[in-house]
């Protein structure tokens, strides 16, 4: 999303797109296919080059072939050979290893020569598609050899992939390292959830329509539910997942992006500074819980063997590279409160898990019940619930649930739904979800990227849960069958407040 809708059509400045970790999964699966879609939509600069960085020597042709194979496999649209060849024809490979500083001096010289021959001026976008442990060493080297210095009017930007830290202390340390070599305006901390149309639409929905704001507060909203359910198990990512868990993997980034867009105050202007300041503000207002509160307001689960569709899923603990006694959660549910004027007393319930019955990502805003049962034989608690649902997956759209009269002479009431689905109104080209984000980096719009303060506020809010769960180990971990709706405690977390998770119709 750009600050000015019309600017969506502008071509970015000439630039070099430098990918660290170019031989990896992300570059093959998402970054190159996204660049291909941008090329097809004529949204890449005319003077453009891709520079792939690997720690080993590799010929340009070998890297091109590998990325072309990846593109054919992962492209979201039919591949036009001419566009693909033009895109990968401008790719060069350079070897540089952050553990060998001399290699970065050589890389700087090679890069400058390439930029001259490709006429990309001096604008550079460095994309860190490496494991997170390499983010700080790479940025230190880039800073040392002067490649991040913005001089002669050129821009130098650094895209940092997720996860950004593994807890509050490590996120602070990484911010500290990055800010030693670059200014905040040069840093683009990516969260690919913000590349999704419906997620961006939350802002438009709230602030471009006069009808929602008057009711978007504690006077009318009973509570908010944020759900990110996945059907897949951990698969081949056992080693990563067993060091991470559902909470770290999903909550401080994806779920908090949704929470901050739903709960933030209206920004004074639609620009990156104002929007990001409001998002940081609301995340900082999430109440920091004591260990006792965190324990009471959370549920964690781990999946046992089960069947989802026609696929058998084995116990999480039998997954390759997972500890046989692992205490790691594959499901997390939290109850949070936001200490500010708008949301005082309105709980936010968050849940996310793997190996569940269905894939679903949604924000459900539950409005307060009608205050008085004026219809005979229809007690308030039997009326259907009023939900406003922002659906993100599997279908992107908005649903409003409300009560209506069943046609006929007697007064009978039933719950109905009004539905808006993106696909019914707009022709949306299939995309990887990275196009908008990469394009925004190239035009210098960081509205959709996380600022240092938001990242730290997010970790601050989840830190008590991380601490209390770590201290308990496997004690208190609930088990749920793969293909179910998750652990029973998750339902109980709401039932004790007289509420329920929304069931999709
Ligand atoms: N894969 C996805 O779908 C996905 C989705 C969202 C976010 N991410 C994030 O994107 C990043 C990359 O993910 P990935 O799956 O592509 O990772 P990956 O395949 O494990 O690694 C990418 C490449 O990084 C290079 N590398 C490894 N260790 C390095 C080091 N110490 N210093 C410099 N380079 C190093 C390696 O290339 P060379 O050996 O050639 O140097 C490797 O091929 C991660 O932060 C991940 O969390 C990935």
Q: What was the pLDDT predicted at 196?
A: 84
| Distance separating alpha carbons of residues 62 and 467, to the nearest angstrom | 46
CA 31 – ligand 1 centroid, Å? 12
**Overall average pLDDT of the 336-354 stretch:** 98
Does 132 contact ligand 1 (Cβ within 6 A)? yes
Nearest CA to ligand 1 atom 22: 24
d(CA 12, CA 450): 21
- Per DSSP, the three-state class of 175 is helix
CA–centroid distance, 423 to ligand 1, in Å, is: 33
Mutate to test the pocket of ligand 1, among 129, 188, 432 (most ligand atoms within 8 A of CB): 129
Q: Output the pLDDT for position 62.
A: 98
Assess whether pLDDT exceeds 70 at residue 8: no
SS3 352: strand
Query: What end-to-end distance do the CA atoms of the chain give, in Å?
Result: 31
27 Cα: distance to centroid of ligand 1 (angstroms) = 8
**Cβ atoms of 20 and 128 closer than 8 Å:** yes
Pocket flag, ligand 1, residue 25 (CB < 6 Å) = yes
DSSP character string of 228-275 = EE-S---TT-HHHHHTTHHHHHHIIIIIHHHHHHHHPPPPSSSSHHHH
Q: Output helix, strand, coil percentages for the chain, rounded to the nearest 5.
A: 40, 20, 40
| pLDDT, tens only, 228-248 | 999 999 999 999 999 999 999
Q: Residues 28, 56, 254, 273: which is the catalytic one? A: 254
pLDDT tens digits for 44-85? 999 999 999 999 999 999 999 999 999 999 999 999 999 999
Distance from the alpha carbon of residue 138 to the mean position of ligand 1, in angstroms = 13
Query: Which of 42, 56, 151 is closest to 95 using CA atoms?
Result: 56
Whether residue 269 has its Cβ less than 6 Å from ligand 1: no
- Domains parsed from the chain with CATH numbers: 5-161 (3.40.50.720), 194-374+451-495 (3.30.360.10)
Going by CA atoms, what residue is nearest to atom 2 of ligand 1? 26
pLDDT band at residue 116 using 50, 70 and 90 as cut-offs: very high
Question: Lowest mean pLDDT: which of 211-220, 380-389, 391-400?
Answer: 380-389
Mean pLDDT of 202-215: 92
Q: Which two tokens stand for residue 105?
A: 């001096």
**Residue 254 annotated among the catalytic residues of the structure:** yes
Contact status, residue 317 vs residue 324, Cβ threshold 8 Å: yes
pLDDT at 381: 63
User: Using CA positions, which residue lies closest to atom 36 of ligand 1?
Assistant: 21
Q: What is the pLDDT of residue 376?
A: 65
Q: How confident is the model at residue 402 (pLDDT cuts 50, 70, 90)?
A: confident
Q: What is the mean pLDDT of residues 98-126?
A: 95
Residue 379's pLDDT band (boundaries 50, 70, 90)? low
Range 5-21 average pLDDT? 82
Residue 124: partners with Cβ closer than 8 Å, 6 or more residues away: 15, 16, 18, 111, 115, 147, 154, 155, 156, 157
Question: pLDDT higher for 254 or 404?
Answer: 254
Probe residue for ligand 1, chosen from 18, 26, 28 as the CB with the greatest number of ligand atoms within 8 Å:
26
Q: Please give the share of the chain, as a percent, with pLDDT higher than 70.
A: 96
**Rg of the chain taking only CA atoms, in angstroms:** 24
For tokens 């890297």, name the residue. Answer: 63
The pLDDT assigned to 414 comes to: 83
Residue-wise pLDDT for 168-186, tens only, equals: 999 999 999 999 999 999 9
pLDDT of 1 reads 45
Alpha carbons 496 and 485: distance in angstroms, whole number: 18
Residue 5 binned pLDDT confidence (cut-offs 50, 70, 90): very low
Distance, CA 67 to ligand 1 centroid (Å)?
15
For residues 24-36, give the mean pLDDT.
Answer: 97
């Amino acid at each position: 999303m750009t600050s000015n809708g019309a600017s969506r059509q502008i071509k970015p400045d000439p630039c070099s797109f430098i990918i660290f970790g170019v031989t990896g999964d992300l570059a093959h699966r998402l970054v190159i296919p996204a660049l291909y879609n941008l090329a097809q939509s004529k949204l890449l600069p005319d003077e453009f080059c891709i520079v792939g960085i690997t720690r080993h020597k590799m010929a340009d042709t070998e890297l091109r072939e590998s990325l072309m194979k990846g593109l054919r496999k992962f492209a979201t649209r039919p591949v036009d050979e001419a566009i693909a060849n033009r895109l990968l024809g401008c790719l060069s490979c350079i070897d540089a290893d952050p553990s060998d500083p001399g290699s970065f001096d050589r890389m700087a010289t090679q890069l400058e020569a390439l930029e001259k021959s490709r006429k990309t001026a001096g604008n550079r976008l460095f994309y860190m598609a490496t494991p997170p442990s390499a983010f700080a060493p790479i940025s230190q080297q880039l800073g040392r050899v002067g490649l991040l210095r913005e001089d002669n009017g050129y821009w130098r930007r650094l895209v940092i992939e997720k996860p950004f830290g593994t807890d509050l202390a490590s996120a602070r340390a990484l911010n500290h390292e990055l800010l030693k070599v670059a200014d905040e305006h040069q840093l683009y901390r990516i969260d690919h959830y913000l590349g999704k149309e419906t997620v961006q639409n939350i802002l438009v929905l709230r602030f471009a329509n006069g009808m929602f704001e008057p009711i978007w507060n504690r006077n009318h909203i009973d509570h908010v539910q944020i759900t990110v359910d996945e059907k897949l198990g951990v698969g081949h990512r056992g080693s990563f997942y067993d060091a991470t868990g559902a909470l770290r993997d999903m909550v401080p980034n994806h779920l908090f992006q949704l929470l901050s867009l739903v709960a933030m105050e209206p920004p004074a202007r639609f620009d990156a500074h104002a929007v990001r300041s409001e998002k940081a503000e609301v995340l900082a207002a999430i109440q920091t819980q004591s260990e006792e509160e965190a324990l009471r307001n959370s549920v964690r689960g781990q999946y046992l063997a089960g069947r989802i569709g026609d696929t058998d899923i084995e116990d999480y603990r039998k997954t390759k590279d997972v500890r046989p006694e692992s205490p790691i959660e594959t499901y997390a549910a939290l109850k949070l409160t936001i200490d500010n004027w708008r949301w005082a007393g309105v709980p936010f319930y968050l849940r996310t898990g793997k190996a569940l019955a269905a894939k679903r990502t949604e924000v459900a805003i539950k409005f307060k019940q009608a205050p008085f049962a004026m219809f005979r034989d229809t007690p308030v608690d039997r009326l259907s619930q009023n939900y406003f649902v922002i659906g993100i997956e599997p279908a992107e759209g908005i649903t409003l649930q409300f009560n209506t009269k069943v046609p006929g002479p007697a007064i009978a009431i039933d719950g109905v739904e009004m539905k808006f689905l993106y696909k019914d109104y707009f022709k949306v080209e299939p995309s990887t979800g990275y196009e908008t984000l990469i394009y925004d980096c190239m035009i210098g719009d960081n509205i959709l990227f996380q600022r240092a303060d938001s990242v730290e506020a997010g970790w601050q809010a989840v830190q008590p849960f991380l601490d209390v769960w770590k201290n308990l180990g496997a004690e208190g971990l609930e088990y749920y069958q793969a293909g179910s709706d998750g652990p029973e405690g998750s339902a109980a977390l709401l039932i004790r407040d007289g509420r329920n998770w929304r069931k999709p119709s």
